[in-house]
Amino acid sequence: MASVDKAAMVWSIAIVAVGAGFAMSAGIALDTGFTSLPTVSTTSDSKIEAAKQQIEMEQKLSMEEERAKAMEEQTGAMGETSVELEETVEQEVELSAPIIEAPQATGPMSVDVAIPTGTAVPGCEETNDCYLPDTVSINAGDTVIWSNTDTAAHTVTSGSPTNGPDGIFDSSLFMAGATFEVTFDDSGSYDYFCMVHPWMQGNVQVS
């Protein structure tokens, strides 16, 4: 009877041990299952977070590219505006700049004096029309050309009717349609008259 009890006790202990082993095994399995779920969840969350960060980075890069493109276009527009302003300023400067012509070199000049019709008769001296013009002003080196447009012959003789010829110049008699000229190289006042018609008098001022 005592041996049966011992055997029963050993058997009970074995059953308990086996049950405890199953329980522990089940506990480990449960623990393993519960610990693996958070691992999977953590991995999934990390991927989602990484995807979100990548999307945000791509959006930021896209925004930066658009901003850079806008700045580049604005800079190009400003550059074109600057070029247009420079061209406008240059055109305005060209339009507003005065045109200065270089002075042309002037050489000796000639002055015409006419002996009009009717001077062979006294009377022209009253209106100073015996020589037209009766007084001329020229520069040294200039020439005076007398033209006889009257029908009578005349002279152009330096001097005066009172004192007579002074010998500087004398045309002698020259007929209608003829001309006589003198180039005055020295400054001074030169009186002249007609020896045939002494009321005819004129003057040349040379400076």
Q: What's the pTM?
A: 0.51
pLDDT band for position 65 (cuts 50, 70, 90) = confident
The DSSP secondary structure of 17-86, one letter per residue, reads HHHHHHHHHHHHHHHHHHHHHHHHHHHHHHHHHHHHHHHHHHHHHHHHHHHHHHHHHHHHHHHHHHHHHH
Between 73 and 108, the higher pLDDT residue: 108
- The residue that leads in pLDDT, 26 or 150, is 150
Q: How many CB atoms lie within 10 A of CB 2?
A: 6
